[in-house]
Structure 1
Amino acid sequence: MAPQPDHLTATTVEEAFNILDAARKRLEAYMLSLAPGDGMERYRAAKTAPVELDIVINDADLAQKAAERHVFARQMRGGGE
């Protein structure tokens, strides 16, 4: 029986990095089984190996915080708005 799709949710950048890293390692493990030869064999197999990946990144809050930090840093340097 095939594994069911996973739905993973992150609420911090660290969690997002961990999920992306785990997903890559999971796919690499499957590719090692599918094409156990050299790296070139896996590279070629990866071009046609089926997988469905759907990523939604809602980074609006993060972008806002970064913009606020940028404005603050500019103000501290005397650059104004």
Structure 2
Amino acid sequence: HSLTVNWFVGDLAHIPIQDASMDMILDIFSPANYQEFQRVLQKNGLLIKVIPNSQHLQEIRGIVADKLTNTNYSNHK
């Protein structure tokens, strides 16, 4: 059987989707609005929430670390 997948970026304060119309939500590295997720998910819908941890993008960071290091930068005033 085939699946229909719709990818979009929307406002988490009010997801532009009809109530109970989604069977799955994939929330990647963004804040969560569980009330909105519940509103748009069908009764047995699935929410997949991806949260980065300390190992997030470790391989990429290792490759580009020396290129991204700016010794003149500080996030402290």
Give the TM-score category using the shorter length. under 0.3
**Larger gyration radius, structure 1 or structure 2:** 1
Query: TM-score normalised to the size of structure 1?
Result: 0.26
Higher-helix-fraction structure:
1
Asked which structure has the greater RCO (Cα within 8 Å, sep 6+), the reply is: 2
Higher-strand-fraction structure:
2
Query: TM-score normalised to the size of structure 2?
Result: 0.26
